[in-house]
Amino acid sequence: MSFSPQRLDPTFRLRSSLYIVDVLIADEEAISRRLLQVNLEKWGHTCVVCEDGDQAWEQLQQPACPRIVILDWMMPGIEDPELCRRTRELDHGKLLHIILLTARESTEDLVAGLDSGANDYVTKPFDAQELKAKFEVGQLLIELQDRLIESERYRILTQAAGGAAHEINQPLTALLGPADLVLIKLEEDDPARGTFETFQKAGVRIRDIVKQMHGLKDVVTRPYIQGVEIIDFEASSKPSQKKRKPFCLDRTK
């Protein structure tokens, strides 16, 4: 039995305000930091605020660091280009979108900033609408990556479950058939009947799990031991409770 991975709806639109991400702000100027924070929190995001490059680097090394990073080019400690390079060398296993904040406007400087690992730039003093527009691009890229990772995870797990279900089902059928025939022939008071009934119930339970493996509609896990998560086949075979938010690029709000 073949399984098709969940696909992104080809009709989706992006409304970036629906996909909330944490933001790291690193700027030595208190007024600039505050303005950035006020705008981003107004758009619904949680901000981690740093006063210099060293503080920012400490935050960026954390596994759960913010997904969008706004860095001032000139600040104490590690400056933006070097901070970008170090950040890109980290393996977070997820997309980070870096926006360079700079008063420099020469082509050479901007190219140097982008070459160091920044995804985009905003000139200082920044315009809130320009920042919002470029910020939304980062949100779009992050959401797309998250959805693609989820889709690929679903595809791999459903293919593995389908293959395992097929391999289990064939020998299981060969075992349950004879067990059913034996129970038909055994008398009610036969001492062996209890053993075969237990055998049959276990086989039916396995068959139900195989059906669930064939009918995965989502990937739901449950705790196992020592922090390990395993697939909950019963929950995963039920219609997904996840409600996907529509994409839409709407800067009118």
Give the model confidence (pLDDT) of 5-28 as tens digits: 444 444 444 444 456 789 999 998
Band of residue 242 on the pLDDT scale cut at 50, 70, 90: low
Would you report the helix, strand and coil content of the chain in percent, each value rounded to 5?
50, 10, 40
Express each pLDDT in 92-103 by its tens digit. Answer: 777 889 999 888
For each of the domains in the chain, give its residue range(s) and CATH number, in order of start: 16-146 (3.40.50.2300), 150-236 (1.10.287.130)
Highest mean pLDDT among 16-20, 28-32, 80-84, 187-191: 28-32
Q: What is the pLDDT of residues 158-190, one digit of tens each?
A: 777 778 877 887 888 887 888 888 888 888 888
Residue entry with tokens 């400087």: 109
Name the band, by pLDDT with cuts 50, 70 and 90, for residue 4.
very low
DSSP characters for 16-54? GGGS---EEEE-S-HHHHHHHHHHHHHTT--EEEESSHH
- For residue 44, give the amino acid letter: G
pLDDT of residue 244 exceeding 80, the answer is no
Q: Look at residues 6, 5, 17, 7 and name the one whose alpha carbon lies nearest to residue 247.
A: 17
Q: How many helices (H) and strands (E) does the chain have?
A: 7, 7
Residues 42-67 have a mean pLDDT of 91
Residue 51 has pLDDT above 80, yes or no: yes
Taking each helix axis from N to C terminus, what angle separates 80-89 and 53-60, rounded to the nearest 10 degrees? 10
Tell me the C-alpha to C-alpha distance, in Å, between residue 92 and each of 29, 95, 115, 149.
Answer: 28, 8, 20, 14
